[in-house]
Amino acid sequence: MKNYMDRQVIGVLKTTLQHDLGWNEIDYGNLVFAFQAAYAVGMVLVGRFIDRVGTRLGYALAMVFWSLASIAHGLASSFTGFLVARFALGLGESAVFPASLKAVAEWFPKKERALATGIFNAGSNLGAIATPSSSHGLPCIGVGARPSSCWVESDSFGWRCGCGFIAVRRSIRPARPPS
């Protein structure tokens, strides 16, 4: 859910950013393309990385990476800065599905895997729905809100989720020993 909230902030701020930074529709399309291209390529690269380092560590590192990439949006002051931040966000968020599917396979018995997959997939969609009205979206569309604060607020706790994931996952016994 968290990663979908991060990626939706730019949609909430599109009009403001286009006005403040002088972007046009083609520029915005290029930002979307940068994210999508990194996400597609990242699925293969990050999936392999997670296979090498393990689900717990790989997922946690991905959470920290995409949180920092999201914060980088708040520091960007040019189109190129946003383009780099969007590419990094796409690369970091591409770990979600490979890591989530691997976690389900490692930590849930076969009879519960479809439900577990359904739950994490539902969370993704809930994040997309919740962003405009959540604490991520509301300050961003308020009068006098600074767009940069939206990304910093959005991920002020994201990197802590990565650390928490490592701690929580250690206390859960797998349904079968990870291979």
Q: What is the pLDDT of residues 78-137, one digit of tens each?
A: 889 989 999 999 999 899 889 888 988 988 899 998 988 888 778 767 766 665 555 444
Residue 159's CB: how many other CB atoms inside 10 A? 18
Q: Which amino acid is located at 150 in the chain? A: C
| Surface-to-core class of residue 79, CB atoms within 10 Å of its CB (0-12 exposed, 13-18 middle, 19+ buried) | middle
Total residues belonging to the chain: 179
Question: Would you say the pTM of this structure is higher than 0.75?
Answer: no
Nearest residue to 59 via CA among 68, 49, 69? 49
Q: What is the pLDDT of residue 18?
A: 82
Q: What CA–CA distance (Å, rounded) separates 83 from 63?
A: 20
Measure the CA–CA gap between 92 and 128, rounded to whole angstroms: 17
Residue 67, C-beta contacts closer than 8 angstroms, at least 6 positions apart: 6, 92, 155, 158, 159, 161, 162
Residues 106 and 174 sit within 8 Å (Cβ to Cβ): yes
User: What's the pLDDT tens digit per position in 136-152?
Assistant: 444 444 444 455 455 45
